[in-house]
Structure 1
């Protein structure tokens, strides 16, 4: 059903995850090999860690192998909970970061009344995970993350800057579907979900892979404001 403002919720969407998790099950830790330089991601997670007290709860949305973010946050003394649709990625994350908690789950499973009730969080990170959703779902996912955060909670996210919606691309020998925004459009979507963007940075990135084109990575540091 739609919420009180008439905005769509997960119950209004037809979700299509066909092939997405299976692709990352096959890719496994080759993902980390293809993206060895993660300065923007490390810096954004450092901002999260430096802004929170030890023991604060952080949700890692689309945690992948747990590297580097879940490990970085756990080593900073935070209580890290990661979710990912790929069972293969979750198995790697559990091995890489044994002090964190990981769940194989769809992001939609975190919705109020959904099958996975994880409670509230002081912060969340979503590094290159929302781009795996169609554009119609991204605002819904952001509002859901907003509602999982305590008032004033923090969000660090990154996206590839691209004007595409659920677009199929070759990726490390597999085929996945991705979405993206131009950066001003991304800021608008994030702000409309109830966040203040407190910092923005971008990095030009050439992955160590022949089938992944050079990209512009946009990082937003945000705070829940309502």
Structure 2
């Protein structure tokens, strides 16, 4: 399944994630925990990969002195995001081909990069972690399997591709990027929804 198919699917689904429709607590506790690994007091940028149109993470990022940048492959998601929070710097782009123009104190990829093709996941994770400042933190969700895998699922309506490097592969790429795994959690157990927090050493 190519990237344009994922974009088309999320164009059709985008309104599901509007603030008034989507749960305001999804992923918030996990982001609060990840932000706690940051040093206090220094300003910088946060990058939201697959940002969608929901703003639930934005207040906590700003409370830590972070300016927010977002990227999404769905044009409709970006249109809605601009209305929801005009202060966010937004990019309508495929993150696999996009090049960061700065470094970040905090990067989030919540329920997004698992739609990236399996062969592209490792290069993407390396690129994102190499974009972290010293002491910067990266939180992302992944399929918590013991091995690499990929599949297509139609639970949300249109068929969507999912992949994961598996837990050993994810830990390997964190090490290759020169980062440390600070936290790994099955936050919706028995579902295989894995939350990973990595940090570039200060």
The verdict on a shared fold, with TM-score over 0.5 as the criterion, is yes
Segments of structure 2 that go 5 or more residues without pairing to the other structure are: none
Segment of structure 1 superposing worse, 20-29 or 163-172: 163-172
Pairing 1:174–2:154 present: no
Give the distance between the partners of 2:32 and 2:89, measured in 1 at CA: 20
1:199-210 aligned within 5 A: 199-204=183-188
1:106-145 aligned within 5 A: 106-111=94-99, 117-145=100-128
Instruction: Summarize the Cα distance change of 1:89–1:74 in structure 2 as closer, same or farther, 3 Å threshold.
Output: farther
Partner residue, 1:196: 180
Query: Superposition RMSD on alpha carbons, in Å?
Result: 2.8
**Which TM-score applies when normalising by structure 2?**
0.83
Partner residue, 2:23: 36
* Contact residue 35 and residue 137 of structure 2 kept, 8 A: no
Give the distance between the partners of 2:29 and 2:118, measured in 1 at CA: 26
- SS for the counterpart of 1:138 is helix
Give the distance between the partners of 2:35 and 2:85, measured in 1 at CA: 16
Give the distance between the partners of 1:65 and 1:72, measured in 2 at CA: 16
Partner residue, 2:192: 216
Partner residue, 1:64: 52
Segments of structure 1 that go 5 or more residues without pairing to the other structure are: 1-14, 112-116, 206-213
Q: How many residues align?
A: 198
Aligned-pair CA distance for 1:178: 0.7
Picking from 13, 34, 47, the partner of 1:27 is 13
